[in-house]
């Protein structure tokens, strides 16, 4: 699925504190925000809509030739 960038304004001191403490947990602000976005998505987007979005985002599987085609038979 194609990703886009979202910008959020945050007070510099708060961001530095978040970066410091998130870093102590071996994570990043970006990873934590992505997790938050996923939770919001699951909370507000209905399951059927999520399933539809996932189905159109999944790569199409290439069709396999039938056994008859593989054996050289034509119909």
Predicted local distance difference test score (pLDDT) of residue 64? 67
Cα dist. 44→29, 49, 75 in Å?
22, 10, 51
| 15 vs 69 pLDDT, higher one | 15
Closest to 28 in 3D by CA, of 49, 36, 67: 36
pLDDT digits (tens, 9 = 90+) for 55-65: 998 776 666 66
Write down the pTM of the prediction.
0.68
In angstroms, the CA 67 to CA 58 distance is 26
Residue 75, pLDDT > 60, answer no
**Average pLDDT across the chain, whole number:** 89
Mean pLDDT for the stretch of residues 16-31: 97
């Amino acid at each position: 699925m194609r990703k886009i960038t979202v910008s959020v304004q945050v007070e510099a001191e708060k961001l530095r504190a978040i970066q410091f403490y998130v870093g102590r947990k071996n994570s990043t602000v970006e990873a934590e925000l992505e997790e938050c976005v996923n939770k919001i998505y699951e909370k507000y987007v209905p399951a059927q809509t999520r399933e539809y979005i996932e189905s159109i985002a999944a790569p199409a599987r290439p069709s396999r030739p039938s056994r008859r085609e593989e054996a050289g038979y034509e119909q």
